[in-house]
C-alpha cells in the first residue's frame, strides 16, 4: 500500500514538473516579447507604395531562442515568416542567444549565472546543449536550417526562407525576389562570442555551421573582451585580438553591439574591414551605456561600417515610432545616410511599438522625420545589402 502511494505521489510530481516544463518557455516568451500596438498596422498610401519598392533588411532578431515555428504565424512575439512577408522583409539576421545573467541590467552583470540553461531544458535542447554554449549556438543554427528546408514550396522546391552565407547568395536572393518568388533571406549571427568557449577553432566550427556575423559581447564580459554592461569594461583580450584577425582572414563580419567603448576602439583600430553595430541607439537622442557617441558614429562610418537602430526603450528611450525616427534621423545627420540601418532587436526580451509586419509604418515615420525616399531606401535595406554584398565570403 505504501509503495503504491509513493508511486502515485512520484507520478504526480513528474506530471507537475512536466507540465511546468511544457509551458514555462511559452509563458516566458509571451511575457518578455511584447508590442505596444499589436496591429493591424496602417500607413499612408505613399508609404505603402514606397515599401513595395524596397528590399527591407533587419540586422538583429533573437527569434531562434524561443520555441516557436518560424514558418507559422503567432499571436505573440515579433518575428515569423508570415509577418516578415507582410513587412516586405528581404533579409532577416537571426542572432543566437546562448547565455544571459539573472537580474540582467544595463549597468553591471557578471557571468556567474545563466537564464538560458532552464530555457534550454524546457525547450528540449539536446542534452549536451544544457551545459555547452557552443552546442546551444549550433542547436539554434540547426533550428534555422530546418525551418529553411521545410519552407520549400511543395512541387517547386523553392524555399520561402533561404539561408544566406555568401555574396552569391545575396545576389541569388535578390534575383529570386525580382522574379516574384517572395523568398526571404536568413543570415546567422552570434549574440556574444562566449560560444567559442575560449577556443579559436570553435570560430571555424561556427562558420562551418553557417554563422556569418559575430557579435563579440552580450550582457557580460567574456574571453574576447569587455561588455558595455559588464564589470571591467575592458577592451579586447589577447584572445579577442586573435579572433579579430581570424574573422578578417575568413571574410566574416564583426558586430560590436553591446561592446564596451574600449572594445569598440580596439576593434576599429585592429580590423581591416568595416564593422557592424547590429542593434543599438545613439547618445544624441537617448543617453545610455550601450548607445553610440557622435565620435563612435563617425569612426564606424569612416571605416565603411553600418549602424542598426533598434525599436526598444534601451535604444531609443521610449518604444515609440516617433522615438525611433528621431534616432535614425540623428544617426543619418552624424554618420551619413550610407551608414544607418534597421536593427530591431525583435524577440530579444524587448517591448517594441510593432512587430515585423509593420515596415510600412517604419517607412512613414522616416518620411515624417524628414528623410527622402532615397534615404529611406538606404536605411531600410540598401545599406545593409551593400555591406553584405561586400563583406560576405565570395563562396
- The strand ranges marked E within 53-172 are 56-61, 89-96, 161-163
Range in 21-30, 95-104, 255-264 the model is least confident about: 21-30
- pLDDT for res 25: 85
Domain containing 369 equals 45-391
- pLDDT for res 21: 47
Q: Does pLDDT of 282 surpass 80? A: yes
- What does the chain come to in residues? 395
Task: Decide if 23 is inside a domain.
Answer: no
Task: Please tell me whether residue 172 adopts helix, strand or coil conformation.
Answer: helix
Q: How many CB atoms lie within 10 A of CB 46?
A: 13
- pLDDT for res 227: 98
236 in Cβ contact with 217 (< 8 Å)? no
For residue 298, say if its preceding peptide bond is cis, omega within 30 degrees of 0.
Answer: no
Across the chain, what does the average pLDDT equal?
Answer: 93
pLDDT range class, residue 159, cuts 50, 70, 90: confident
| pLDDT tens per residue across span 199-225 | 999 999 999 999 999 999 999 999 999
213 in Cβ contact with 93 (< 8 Å)? yes
Cell of 393: 565570403
Q: How many CB atoms lie within 10 A of CB 30?
A: 14
Q: How far apart are the first and last CA of the chain?
A: 68
Task: Decide if 158 is inside a domain.
Answer: yes
Task: Decide if 155 is inside a domain.
Answer: yes
194 in Cβ contact with 98 (< 8 Å)? yes
Provide Rg for the chain, Cα atoms: 21
Task: Please tell me whether residue 333 adopts helix, strand or coil conformation.
Answer: helix
Q: Does pLDDT of 193 surpass 90? A: yes
Q: Tell me what percent of the residues of the chain surpass a pLDDT of 70.
A: 93
Question: What pTM value is reported for the model?
Answer: 0.93
State how far the alpha carbon of 152 is from the alpha carbons of 10, 18, 168, 176, 182, in Å.
45, 34, 19, 13, 12
- pLDDT for res 22: 47
Task: Decide if 198 is inside a domain.
Answer: yes
CA distance 132 to 320: 37
Q: Does pLDDT of 6 surpass 80? A: no
CA distance 232 to 227: 8
Task: Decide if 27 is inside a domain.
Answer: no
230 in Cβ contact with 263 (< 8 Å)? no
- pLDDT for res 157: 66
CATH code of the domain covering residue 384? 3.20.20.140
Q: Does pLDDT of 113 surpass 90? A: yes
| pLDDT tens per residue across span 304-347 | 999 999 999 999 999 999 999 999 999 999 999 999 999 999 99
Task: Decide if 52 is inside a domain.
Answer: yes
Task: Please tell me whether residue 231 adopts helix, strand or coil conformation.
Answer: coil
- pLDDT for res 153: 64
Task: Decide if 111 is inside a domain.
Answer: yes
Task: Decide if 117 is inside a domain.
Answer: yes
**Overall domain count for the chain:** 1
Q: Does pLDDT of 13 surpass 90? A: no
Phi and psi at residue 91, in whole multiples of 5°?
A: -150, 130
Q: Tell me what percent of the residues of the chain surpass a pLDDT of 90.
A: 90
| pLDDT tens per residue across span 352-375 | 999 999 999 999 999 999 999 999
DSSP label of 196? G
CA distance 90 to 381: 8
Q: Does pLDDT of 126 surpass 50? A: yes
Burial category of 77 from C-beta neighbours within 10 Å (exposed 0-12, middle 13-18, buried 19 and up): buried
Rounded to an integer, the average pLDDT of 97-111 is 97
Burial category of 293 from C-beta neighbours within 10 Å (exposed 0-12, middle 13-18, buried 19 and up): middle
| pLDDT tens per residue across span 225-257 | 999 999 999 999 999 999 999 999 999 999 999
Contacts of residue 361, Cβ cutoff 8 Å, sequence gap at least 6: 41, 42, 43, 47, 321, 354
- pLDDT for res 277: 98
Amino acid at each position: 500500500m505504501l509503495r503504491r502511494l509513493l508511486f502515485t505521489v512520484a507520478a504526480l510530481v513528474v506530471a507537475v514538473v512536466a507540465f511546468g516544463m511544457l509551458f514555462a518557455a511559452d509563458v516566458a516568451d509571451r511575457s518578455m516579447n511584447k508590442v505596444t500596438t499589436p496591429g493591424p498596422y496602417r500607413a499612408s498610401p505613399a508609404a505603402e507604395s514606397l515599401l513595395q519598392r524596397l528590399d527591407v533588411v533587419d540586422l538583429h532578431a533573437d527569434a531562434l531562442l524561443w520555441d516557436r515555428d518560424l514558418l507559422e504565424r503567432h499571436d505573440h512575439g515579433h518575428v515569423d515568416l508570415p509577418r516578415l512577408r507582410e513587412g516586405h522583409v528581404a533579409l532577416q539576421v537571426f542572432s543566437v542567444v546562448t547565455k544571459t545573467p539573472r537580474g540582467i541590467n544595463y549597468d553591471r552583470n557578471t557571468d556567474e549565472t545563466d537564464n538560458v540553461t532552464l530555457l534550454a531544458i524546457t525547450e528540449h535542447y539536446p542534452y549536451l546543449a544544457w551545459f555547452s554554449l557552443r552546442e546551444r549556438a549550433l542547436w539554434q543554427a540547426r533550428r534555422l536550417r530546418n525551418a529553411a528546408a521545410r519552407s520549400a514550396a511543395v512541387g517547386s522546391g523553392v524555399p520561402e526562407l533561404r539561408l544566406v552565407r555568401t555574396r552569391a547568395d545575396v545576389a541569388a536572393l535578390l534575383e529570386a525576389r525580382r522574379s516574384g518568388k517572395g523568398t526571404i533571406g536568413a543570415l546567422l549571427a552570434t549574440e556574444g562570442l562566449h560560444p567559442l568557449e575560449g577556443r579559436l577553432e570553435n570560430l571555424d566550427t561556427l562558420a562551418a555551421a553557417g554563422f556569418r556575423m559575430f557579435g563579440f559581447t552580450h550582457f557580460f564580459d567574456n574571453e574576447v573582451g569587455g561588455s558595455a554592461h559588464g564589470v571591467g569594461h575592458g577592451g579586447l583580450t589577447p584572445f579577442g585580438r586573435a579572433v579579430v584577425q581570424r574573422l578578417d582572414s575568413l571574410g566574416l563580419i564583426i558586430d560590436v553591439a553591446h561592446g564596451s567603448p574600449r572594445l569598440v576602439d580596439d576593434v576599429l583600430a585592429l580590423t581591416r574591414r568595416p564593422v557592424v553595430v547590429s542593434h543599438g541607439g545613439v547618445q544624441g537622442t537617448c543617453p545610455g551605456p550601450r548607445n553610440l557617441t557622435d565620435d563612435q558614429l563617425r569612426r564606424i562610418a569612416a571605416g565603411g561600417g553600418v549602424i542598426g537602430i533598434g525599436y526598444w526603450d534601451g535604444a531609443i528611450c521610449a518604444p515609440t515610432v516617433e522615438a525611433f525616427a528621431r534616432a535614425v534621423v540623428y544617426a543619418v545627420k552624424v554618420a551619413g545616410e550610407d551608414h544607418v540601418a534597421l536593427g530591431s532587436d525583435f524577440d530579444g526580451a524587448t517591448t517594441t511599438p510593432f512587430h515585423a509586419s509593420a515596415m510600412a509604418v517604419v517607412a512613414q515615420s522616416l518620411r515624417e522625420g524628414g528623410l527622402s525616399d532615397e534615404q529611406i531606401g538606404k536605411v531600410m535595406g540598401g545599406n545593409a545589402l551593400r555591406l553584405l554584398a561586400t563583406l560576405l565570403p565570395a563562396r
